[in-house]
Structure 1
Amino acid sequence: MPVLPIIRRAAGADLDVVYAMICALEDQQLDKDVFSKVYLRNLTSPDIAYFLADVEEKTVGMVSCHIQGLLHHAALVAEIQEMFVYADYRSQRIGETLMTRVVQHAILEGAAQLEVTSRATRHAAHRFYEREGFIKSHVKLVRYLDKI
């Protein structure tokens, strides 16, 4: 039986482990200097939370949550911006435990709903989110500003 992870808030000292997970999620090496500035800035924001999953003192997964007031909802809306679990730890309830924590956080912060966007090609992630109670309700369109 898999060991359930310990879920904790991320801190500045977790920068390297979070960086490695986000690079793996995006399948590219991100600029670490820029990443570090964004990460450390976000840690000070009351609207952004990062939760890490530790198994036997190893960080194996993470989820981020950004909460903002949206006029078209007339409410606070929580959004999972990044979620990642290392492949060797998938199907061991790590993602489920992270999801439980981020839902709890969103509710405690007064959010009316929790949203997530996932790349169209990530079918396994979509199945996970649907098992966790998410429904497909929107289409996301992106305009890359560096292409102008």
Structure 2
Amino acid sequence: MNEITLRRARAADVPAIVALLADDALGRTRESPGDLAPYETAFAEIDGDRQHLLVVAEREDAVIGTAQLTFLPGLSHRGATRAQIEAVRIGGTARGTGLGSALIEWCVERARERGCSMVQLTSDASRTDAHRFYERLGFRPTHVGFKLDLTGTAH
């Protein structure tokens, strides 16, 4: 397998990241790769905030994976900071190569470097393969999550 680089995302990566987000059954229903304006606005906000880190996995100048890491300071757990991993996606040709594990491990290491007490993530209830993957990496399903859609377009 060719060399893979994990790095902070750049604005030029937004189209490839959006394509990854849209490349599954759930993503096809909620992402709009034909209109990048809202994604570019969101990227600028993410990139400008030290509490957020958007990462890409790159091979031969092509983005083949992504994840977002957010640092959440809080008062509970004695003022602990948590890291939240979101939007983990691996391109079809790179699935099953160990890249997903490497991406999650990279995020966990960044959380350790920032002094986080735990790393958490959520996964859509229908993604049973992803749930098994996260459990193999040591994550445990300890909580039940709830969402309230404020847009009227629940997904």
- Say yes or no: TM over 0.5: yes
> Identity of paired residues, percent?
25
Tell me the SS of whatever aligns to 1:145: coil
Q: Does 1:103 align with 2:108?
A: yes
Indicate conservation of the 8 Å contact 1:80/1:116, yes or no: yes
Name structure 1 gaps, 5 residues minimum.
none
Which of 55, 59, 66 is the matching residue for 2:59? Answer: 55
The alignment yields a C-alpha RMSD, in angstroms, of 1.5
Count of aligned pairs: 146
Q: Does 1:133 align with 2:138?
A: yes
Alpha-carbon separation, structure 1, partners of 2:19 and 2:74: 31
Alpha-carbon separation, structure 2, partners of 1:40 and 1:33: 11
Alpha-carbon separation, structure 2, partners of 1:53 and 1:23: 17
Give 1:66's aligned residue.
70
Q: CA deviation at 1:4?
A: 5.2
Flag as ranges the 4+ runs of structure 1 deviating above 4 A.
none
What one-letter code is carried by the residue in structure 1 that aligns with 2:21?
A: I
Deviations 1:67-96 (A, max 9, x none): 011222321000002100012211101111
Q: Which has the higher contact order (CA 8 A, sep 6+)?
A: 1
Alpha-carbon separation, structure 2, partners of 1:106 and 1:146: 31
Mapping of 1:110-129 within 5 angstroms? 110-129=115-134
Which of 29, 44, 47 is the matching residue for 1:43? Answer: 47
Q: CA deviation at 1:3?
A: 4.0
The TM-score, its normalising length taken from structure 1, stands at 0.91
Indicate conservation of the 8 Å contact 1:5/1:97, yes or no: no
The TM-score, its normalising length taken from structure 2, stands at 0.87
Name structure 2 gaps, 5 residues minimum.
none
Alignment CA distance shift 1:9-1:42 (3 Å): same
Give 2:4's aligned residue.
5
Q: Does 1:79 align with 2:84?
A: yes
Alpha-carbon separation, structure 2, partners of 1:9 and 1:77: 20
